[in-house]
């Protein structure tokens, strides 16, 4: 079996940047794409911007972005609304149809967050088409997206986690009391979140038992499957970036810590704090002892390898007041927005934004399109 040849030999590599999508993180994906496309060197690469609308239409976009409104996330809109990321659409497909241009590129940069993108779906499309792409493969993407199954892998890898319970619609229908019994040992507070969503979409910090049902229902607006996790009371939120070297060996960044303003009205690092109101701060490098930093970086690589990640990931942890370390989650396509931790971690580690984007593209161009 031979590898798929480059579709455009002898010319600038053509890179399809795919963004938007059907998940609730559509706007975050668009904001990420705007930043990434601005960082790609046009002397080295030809960029093909492809947006996916919220209802699944694929749009071959212009490279010229429109100005953003304060506090409003951009979107892919085939009708050309005021908050569309790029105007002058060249091609619009029906929902589910894919532009032929996607198959005539050297690599795809899939900047899709959440289900129908970050979860292995577009990765599978690229694998079927024999097209190289940035980031984790099908299985690693799917595992990291589904916090339930990621936790199973983490446990097998010996990574400590907070106690949790999984709540499904089937369990609620068949035996609500069994759900109560599964959640009861977690105590209070608990954190309730969709199993397959990101950017803190649908997450709630629950301090009373009476509020649990409403929190589960809110999470199920994003995903029928819900994770209820013991609250990380007093924990510090630490994050570590992982990027593969050209030899495939994972490299780790300095650590960052999430800080949310005390009087900002956020009980935790939620969607608004991350992307809209600027009330969160990334403290880089995190002020932790050298031994703790080393432990986090070692655990980040272990999680990266346990899931079978490729290219890049951001690995998040809770550091408890007694210095116990718990893994929270792995993001296989972390955000590159102005507020995003991942590019800031690497900038502080000596790899600035354009160099980081270039590294990821080069890794994609070098990978095989066969089984790896």
What are the residue ranges spanned by the domains of the chain?
Answer: 14-133, 145-160+234-366, 164-230
DSSP 185: G
Q: How many helices (H) and strands (E) does the chain have?
A: 11, 15
Q: What confidence score (pLDDT) does residue 276 get?
A: 45
pLDDT of residue 169: 93
Q: Which residues pair with 281 in a beta bridge?
A: 259
Choices 3.30.1490.20, 3.30.160.250, 3.40.50.300, 3.50.50.60: CATH for 164-230: 3.30.1490.20
- The CATH code for residues 14-133 is 3.40.50.20
The mean pLDDT values, 10 residues at a time, for the chain of 372 residues are: 53 93 89 92 94 88 63 73 39 59 86 92 93 97 97 98 96 88 95 84 91 94 95 95 95 94 50 50 95 98 98 98 96 86 96 96 94 84
- Distance, CA of 183 to CA of 282 (rounded, Å): 32
Residue 197: per-residue pLDDT:
80
- The pLDDT value given to residue 335: 86
Pairing of β 14-20 and β 107-110: parallel
The sheet carrying 236-244 orders its strands as: 280-283, 250-260, 236-244, 312-319, 325-331
pLDDT at 148: 97
Pick from 137, 107, 130, 135: nearest CA to 4:
130
Confidence (pTM): 0.86
- Strand partners for 317: 238, 327
pLDDT of residue 89: 44
Cα distances (Å, whole numbers) of residue 140 to 41, 147, 310, 330, 347 = 29, 12, 8, 10, 25
Helix/strand/coil for 242: strand
Q: How far apart are CA 208 and CA 201, in angstroms?
A: 21
Please tell me the class of the 145-160+234-366 domain: alpha beta
What's the token pair of residue 286?
């995190």
Whether the Cβ atoms of residue 141 and residue 198 lie closer than 8 Å to each other: no
């Amino acid at each position: 079996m031979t590898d798929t040849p480059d579709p455009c030999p002898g010319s600038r590599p053509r890179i399809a940047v795919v963004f938007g999508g059907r998940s609730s993180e559509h706007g975050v994906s668009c904001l990420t794409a705007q930043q990434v496309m601005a960082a790609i060197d046009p002397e080295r690469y030809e960029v093909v911007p492809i947006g996916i609308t919220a209802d699944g239409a694929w749009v071959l976009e212009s490279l010229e972005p429109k100005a953003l409104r304060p506090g409003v996330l951009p979107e892919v809109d085939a009708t050309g609304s005021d908050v569309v990321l790029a105007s002058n659409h060249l091609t619009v497909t029906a929902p589910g149809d894919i532009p032929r241009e996607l198959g005539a590129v050297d690599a795809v940069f899939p900047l899709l967050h959440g289900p129908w993108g970050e979860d292995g779906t577009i990765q599978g499309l690229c694998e079927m088409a024999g097209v190289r792409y940035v980031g984790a493969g099908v299985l690693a993407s799917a595992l990291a997206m589904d916090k339930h199954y990621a936790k199973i892998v983490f446990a097998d890898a010996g990574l400590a986690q907070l106690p949790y319970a999984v709540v499904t619609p089937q369990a609620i229908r068949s035996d609500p009391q069994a759900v109560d019994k599964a959640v009861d040992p977690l105590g209070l507070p608990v954190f309730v979140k969709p199993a397959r969503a990101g950017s803190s979409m649908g997450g709630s910090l629950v301090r009373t038992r009476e509020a649990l049902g409403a929190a589960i229902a809110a999470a199920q607006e994003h995903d029928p499957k819900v994770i209820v996790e013991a609250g990380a009371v007093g924990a510090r939120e630490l994050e570590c970036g992982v990027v593969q070297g050209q030899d495939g060996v994972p490299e780790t960044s300095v650590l960052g810590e999430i800080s949310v303003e005390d009087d900002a009205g956020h009980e935790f690092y939620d969607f608004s704090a991350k992307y809209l109101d600027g009330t969160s701060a990334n403290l880089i490098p995190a002020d932790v002892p050298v031994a703790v930093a080393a432990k986090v970086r070692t655990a980040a690589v272990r999680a990266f390898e346990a899931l079978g990640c490729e290219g890049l990931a951001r690995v998040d942890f809770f550091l408890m007041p007694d210095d116990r370390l718990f893994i929270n989650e792995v993001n296989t396509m972390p955000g590159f927005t102005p507020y995003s931790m991942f590019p800031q971690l690497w900038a502080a580690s000596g790899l600035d934004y354009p160099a980081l984007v270039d590294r990821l593209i080069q890794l994609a161009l070098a990978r095989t399109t066969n089984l790896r």
